Amino acid sequence: MVGPGSVIGFVGTGVMGAAMAGHLLDAGYSLRVHNRTASRAAALVERGAVWCPTPGQAAMGADAVITIVGYPADVEDVYLQPGGIIDSARSGAILIDMTTSTPSLAMRIAREALEHDLSALDAPVSGGDVGARNAKLTIMVGGDREAFVAVEPLLRVLGPNVVFQGAPGAGQHTKMANQIAIANTIVGVCESLVYAEAAGLDPRLMLRSIEAGSAGSWQLANYAPRMLEGDFAPGFYVKHFIKDMRIAKAEAELRGIILPGLGLALEMFEELSRRGGDDRGIHALYLLYKARSVPSYYIDSDATSA
């Protein structure tokens, strides 16, 4: 069992990863940390985490290794490059990739891990920066069940909703289903606000009525107020959401599934990206609606006006 006192390698201390690693320190785990930008791990090192110059060094001697990086290419790099995590982890260690990545890569990592006497889990998360800060993430897990049982207490430090979904890749497939639902919902939230404003309603007052009814959702409750306040700071980057939607679209096409809602959302987010929105939060989709009708609205993440 991987419990408090165990040594955890943690790779990726960005918007979400830093908060997640902090919760593990609070719970009594010993951390070996690595991040591509060292300064983003400095606060964790000040709290007692051990800084490691490479992902492979973070894995050395660890009972489990957690990764949460940007793109599938980054996942492949930290796990499979010579001297990477799989080459460096001790026999019997459990590798947990919490990045949203491709199911096929999760399956490849699981196979490679098994050949090195390791276990690998794909365990992407949902809940964004808020869920990470509050230890309220939803965690969807694929891989070896025995390995899952061994690290379940560790995962529950990060969020209460931890569900084993099945074989390697199942966690990533579940995350794709999650992202498809979010893609369609965030479009609906934007259109609800745009309509309310065009109809002359006070959108905040409107939200008081609809968020408690059947239209209620996490996106409506958390993102709509930030849209109206002009706060588009990233909890989850537009560029990363586009990556997720492209994975979901490709997986659907492999199975002959047509998902028009996902296709429309992806087209809109790609337009938002082209207009400079890559480094804003996904709720900045609202700016695209405004920009289409009010040219003075800014989308570029370096602009000072919303």
- 302 lies in some domain: no
What is the token pair recorded at 303? 């602009």
Q: How far apart are CA 120 and CA 107, in angstroms?
A: 9
Catalytic residue IDs: 175
pLDDT tens per residue across span 183-203:
999 999 999 999 999 999 999
pLDDT tops 60 at residue 303 = no
The single residue listed with the structure tokens 């002009």 is 230
Output the pLDDT for position 297.
62
The per-residue pLDDT for 294 is 66
Helices 260-274/170-198 angle, 10° precision: 70
Among residues 137, 167, 197, the one where a domain terminates is: 167
Question: What are residue 281's DSSP bridge partners?
Answer: 237
| Residue 240 belongs to domain with CATH number | 1.10.1040.10
Q: Lowest-pLDDT range, 32-46, 139-153, 167-181, 283-297?
A: 283-297
Average pLDDT over all residues of the chain: 94
Residue 306 predicted with pLDDT over 60: no
Q: Residue 270 has what pLDDT?
A: 97
Same domain for 186 and 267? yes
Q: Do residues 99 and 179 both lie within one domain?
A: no
Q: 75 and 196 share a domain?
A: no
Q: Is residue 298 part of a domain?
A: no
* Pair (71, 152) in one structural domain: yes
Q: Rounded to whole angstroms, what are the CA distances from 198 to 191, 281, 284? A: 10, 24, 19
Question: Are residues 177 and 41 both part of a single domain?
Answer: no
Do 86 and 234 reside in the same domain of the chain? Answer: no
Number of residues assigned to the chain: 306
Among 109, 140, 167, the domain-final residue is 167
Final residue before a domain boundary, out of 118, 149, 167: 167
CA distance linking residue 297 with residue 277, whole number of Å: 12
| Single-letter residue type at 175 | K
Do 31 and 153 have their domain in common?
A: yes
298 pLDDT higher than 70: no
Proportion of the chain above pLDDT 70, given as a percent = 96
Whether residue 138 is found in the same domain as residue 42? yes
Position 44 pLDDT exceeds 90: yes
Gap between the Cα atoms of 23 and 44, Å rounded: 10
Same domain, 123 and 217: no
CA separation for the pair 249, 259 (Å, rounded) = 8
Confidence of residue 296 (pLDDT cuts 50, 70, 90): low
Count of domains observed in the chain? 2
Is the domain of 55 the same as that of 163? yes
Per-residue exposure over 279-291, b if at least 16 CB sit within 10 Å of its own CB, e if not: bbbbbbbbbbbbb
Task: Name the CA radius of gyration of the chain, rounded.
Answer: 20
> 63 is in which domain, residue-wise?
7-167
pLDDT band at 268 (very low <50, low <70, confident <90, very high): very high
pLDDT band at 304 (very low <50, low <70, confident <90, very high): very low
Of all residues in the chain, the percent with pLDDT exceeding 90 is 91
Does residue 160 share a domain with residue 39?
A: yes
Q: What is the rounded CA–CA span in Å between residue 250 and residue 59?
A: 32
Inter-CA distances, 168 with 53, 64, 79, 146, 231, Å: 29, 17, 15, 13, 38
Does residue 153 have a pLDDT over 60? yes
Residues 138 and 109 reside in one and the same domain: yes
CATH number (domain holding residue 100): 3.40.50.720
User: In whole angstroms, what is the distance from residue 304 CA to residue 298 CA?
Assistant: 8
Determine contact, residues 190/228, Cβ cutoff 8 Å: no
